[in-house]
Amino acid sequence: MHELISRYIAETVRHLKPAERMEVEKELTANIQDMLPDNPSDQEVEQTLLSMGSPSSLAAKYRGSEQYLIGPATYDTYIMVLKIVALVVSLVSLVFTVLSFFLSPSDLSIFGMIAKALASIFSAASSAFLWVTITFAILERYQVKSDAKDWNLSELHNLEEVPTREIKKRDSIADLVGLSLFFLFLGFMYRRGNLLAIYTQDREPIPLFVADLLRPYLVGWMLTTAIAFFVAMFKMARARWTKTVLGFSAASDLLGVFYFIFVATRWNIYNNTALLYFNLSLEWWQIIIKAACAVLLLLTLISIGEDTYTTLRRTEPSGSGKVPAL
């Protein structure tokens, strides 16, 4: 089969539910072959595919014109992300709630503790449902608008095989789980910053940070983490690297690392007593933090460079002998 036909079909069925893809692929392959003569030229293949319209518009015809909040193209991903996020957020919220019973005095009865734990799970799951649904609804609307571009020869040759720039699902899942855990950790720190401390048998716990000074920065950190979470869902919904995905991903990564550097170099948030416990002066601690920030920034730039290469690298020449446009 001509490579352009393969790419066109692959891009079309990508917008459909997985259960529908195989049947539509067979039907579409047969229809295209019927429209072409035996041993078609490259120009005949191009004109036939152009006459059929863009893959997204053709996929919409197979789906019908029904209205929806989360469309078929992203519904399965939406359900999977919702399950992962709801489960992780609920479990971590439960753990933090139970820990709070032991780390701080409480006059609640056992039934009161159970009720509070169940309430925390319900609240966490409800929040997960709300934000995941809102995010995918926005992505759905964005996807509809992004398909309004002209369908022409340049767009046809810009189609590429899915595996060449595919975003692995397990990487997206790992990002979502990690960001969910980190967001909840930040929330826990905001409420009980003094619990992150040095614990010894013969003295009172020594907090690592000055909680009142750290708390305002945690709000901004939770905001940057939420942005990174939404970008991770966007990447999972798109499932492959494009210039748009790269732009959002790079911006989110740089925002996160620069905000970390900003917070980490606020020297007044560190508890001097904790530094003395490790036999560190503030000057030595500043050197360590600055070195760690430099390494983190370098690793982030390398990661962005790898993503850029994956997005912009050229694929194998198409059947017409042309290289897909970038």
pLDDT at 152: 64
Closest CA to 167 of 249, 252, 77, 240: 240
Domain that holds residue 289: 73-312
pLDDT at 325: 37
All residue ranges of the chain with pLDDT < 70 are 1, 63-69, 71-74, 99-108, 139-165, 314-326
Domain match, 98 and 206 both: yes
Domain end, chosen from 66, 91, 122, is at 66
Tell me if 255 is assigned to some domain.
Answer: yes
For residue range 192-241, what is the model confidence (pLDDT) as tens digits?
A: 777 788 877 777 888 889 989 999 999 999 999 989 988 888 887 777 78
- Report the C-alpha gap between 177 and 110 in whole angstroms: 31
Residue 256, H or E segment: helix 243-264
Closest CA to 26 of 41, 43, 9: 9
In this structure, the number of other CB atoms found within 10 A of the CB of residue 317 comes to 11
Domain end, chosen from 37, 66, 95, is at 66
Domain match, 264 and 282 both: yes
pLDDT at 162: 45
Domain match, 44 and 88 both: no
The widest CA-to-CA distance across the chain, in whole angstroms, is 88
Our CA dihedral for 194, 195, 200, 203, rounded to 10 degrees, sits at 40
